[in-house]
């Protein structure tokens, strides 16, 4: 899947808002605000359940990596996530 298509599909799911559980939260992390070298995907199946976390990292910007963005889409689809949230700013680590 190409990068633009992956980003568009994630964006569309984020715009749908809160639709209930399961929920996925996507957060980007990096050494500065312009370069996200890590993405954290947190999956919560139901209210009060222990969230599961998956991390992907790269030396380049993960937001521009088509393999990682495609993996995010696959996680969303395979888990049956009803709600997808995405933190747009990069958290400095």
Judge whether residue 11 has pLDDT over 80.
yes
pLDDT given at position 93:
87
CB–CB of 58/67 below 8 Å? no
pLDDT given at position 88:
86
Q: Average per-residue pLDDT in the chain?
A: 95
Query: Mean per-residue pLDDT for 48-62?
Result: 96
Judge whether residue 86 has pLDDT over 70.
yes
- The rounded percent of the chain whose pLDDT value lies above 70 is 99
Cis amide linkage into residue 71, ω under 30° from 0: no
pLDDT given at position 51:
97
CB–CB of 15/7 below 8 Å? no
């Amino acid at each position: 899947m190409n990068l633009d298509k992956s980003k568009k599909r994630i964006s569309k799911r984020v715009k749908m808002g809160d639709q209930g559980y399961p929920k996925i939260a996507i957060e980007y992390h990096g050494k500065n605000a312009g370069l996200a070298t890590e993405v954290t995907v947190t999956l919560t199946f139901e209210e009060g359940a222990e969230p599961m976390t998956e991390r992907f990292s790269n030396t380049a910007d993960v937001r521009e990596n088509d393999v990682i963005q495609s993996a995010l889409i696959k996680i969303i689809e395979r888990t049956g996530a009803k709600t997808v949230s995405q933190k747009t700013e990069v958290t400095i680590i």
